[in-house]
Structure 1
Amino acid sequence: MEQAKDINRLKVVLVEKKRTGKWLAEQLGKDPATVSKWCTNVAQPGLETLVQISKVLEVDIRELLVGTKLTM
């Protein structure tokens, strides 16, 4: 069974900002279970939602994503 790769850093950024998933869910008008899935990388927020999250947390959107290297 293949492990899912971490795509976002939302859980880490929330800890750095001393905020909870429940708080973020309230700010975005989302279900806390949805935010929990994002934090555990079970599901991913859409691009528009990532923009909202970056504004609410006052971080650059790139801080919410795990960096990748392009190989050609």
Structure 2
Amino acid sequence: MNRIKDVLQEKGIKQTWLAEKLGKSFNMVNDYCNNRRQPTIEVLYQIAKILSVSPKELLNDQSNEH
């Protein structure tokens, strides 16, 4: 699970803008944001760089959910 949608909302950035910057379709980015599909590690790092955040900020920490 990822937090891409949350980070976009926190920064006031639209999914369409991110899709354009990534060179991916809106549908692909929308799937990432809604956790229907997970980005590759490379794409995750690319998203983090575009959004100026740490890649860890884009991931849910599930270690304390047990």
Instruction: Give the shorter-chain TM-score range.
Output: over 0.9
Question: Which consecutive unaligned segments of at least 5 residues does structure 2 have?
Answer: none
In terms of fraction of residues, the more helix-rich structure is: 2
Q: Aligned residues: percent identity?
A: 45
Deviation at residue 37 of structure 1 after TM alignment = 0.3
Give yes or no for the alignment of 1:25 onto 2:19. Answer: yes
Corresponding residue of 2:10: 16
TM-score (norm 1): 0.86
Q: Detail structure 1 runs of 4+ shifted over 6 Å in the superposition.
A: none
Q: Report the aligned-residue RMSD.
A: 1.0
Higher-Rg member (1/2): 1
Question: Which consecutive unaligned segments of at least 5 residues does structure 1 have?
Answer: 1-6
TM-score (norm 2): 0.93
